[in-house]
Amino acid sequence: MTDARNIERLPVGEIVIPEGRRQRQEDKVKDLADSMRQLGLLSPIVVRMLDDEHQLVDGLHRLTAAQALGWQEIDCRIVEADDRRARMIEIAANLHRAELIVLERAEAINEWVRLADQEPQEIFAQVAQKIGRGRPEGGQSAAAREIGVDRDAVRRAQKIAALPAEAKVTARHLDLADNQTALLKAAKSEDPVASLQQHGKRRRHTPEELSRRRTKTAEAEKVPARASDMQDALNRVATMLIDALGDRIAELVSVLETVTATALAKALREGRPELFNQGHHEERPPEPSPKVLYEGVQPLRRRRNESRPEHRPRTYS
């Protein structure tokens, strides 16, 4: 038996999204929608039949993008999978596509291996290979074969995933959840929380961290100033338009609500280019004649030459 049955086009509205899915990233949905609008769906989403319904297994962002585009149907790869296998398919897809930090990736790999160990004789409906003295293939070997994670990476992931909940919270709070060195050191420590706190203190004094914090502070200070400048500019434009148009400003506002500022500026420049090129046609003062230039330069040359010893006039005794 194989997991994959076929590719079918299913109504978007009939696909059920199970609870407990990873949180949607709206910027990713927008990027996918832009791509799908131009290129179509390059990779079908994965669904399974559960209680006579098509339940989503993998492809939440693609499905959401299809809904945003108003698609009525979407290509789906239908698999036969129980809850364990469906979760393994979802984890494998996230490991290859999602931008996971070290802690999240370790937890995902550890969960995949744990689920694989629950039924070592059948991984993704394939007959497990025999290794050693007739022992069935375990989760670590399956991880290397199925999701491209070698044994050493699995062991590191298991150590990090085994950190106590308090240590994981501390790692996130200290911005160390994406620092594999700090997490592995904490996993070896008798007091993981204290280990992470010590690492955080040392990192605060490194040149890289000091530079990063200065940059972050500077950027934070610039935001209110930029917002204030923008509001002042908007107020000036609004005052100028009201003074120039009077009661007709209401008619203009209804139009402005349908265009962007960039598009409006471009249209204004193209409509009256001569107004925006004045700086290139301003009258320049008349250039001095060669005679004036010569007369002005000669005194400077004389003074410069007289200051040089080699050019001083010879005196004869």
Please name the residue that has the structure tokens 């994670």.
149
Residue 283 has pLDDT above 50, yes or no: no
Q: DSSP letter for 259, please.
A: S
* CA separation, residue 135 to residues 131, 145, 289 (Å): 6, 17, 101
Average pLDDT, the chain: 76
From CA 116, how far away is CA 158, in angstroms rounded?
Answer: 14
Domains of the chain, by residue range, sit at 1-81, 100-162, 168-220
Query: Nearest-CA neighbor of 163 among 213, 116, 103?
Result: 103
Nearest residue to 163 via CA among 202, 139, 142, 194: 194
Residue 288: is its pLDDT beyond 80? no
Q: Give the Cα separation of 265 and 284 in Å (integer).
A: 29
Tokens of 102: 């070290």
Q: What is the pLDDT of residue 133?
A: 47
Write the pLDDT tens digit of every residue in 160-219: 999 999 999 999 999 999 999 999 999 999 999 999 999 888 776 666 666 766 676 666
Q: Model confidence at 222, in pLDDT bands (50, 70, 90)?
A: low
For 42-46, 122-126, 183-187, 260-264, which range has the lowest pLDDT when averaged over its residues? 122-126
Q: In this predicted structure, what is the pLDDT of residue 282?
A: 46
Query: In this structure, what DSSP letter does residue 82 have?
Result: -
pLDDT digits (tens, 9 = 90+) for 14-61: 999 988 777 778 888 999 999 999 999 988 999 998 888 999 999 999
CATH topology of domain 1-81: 3.90.1530
Percent of the chain with pLDDT over 90: 31
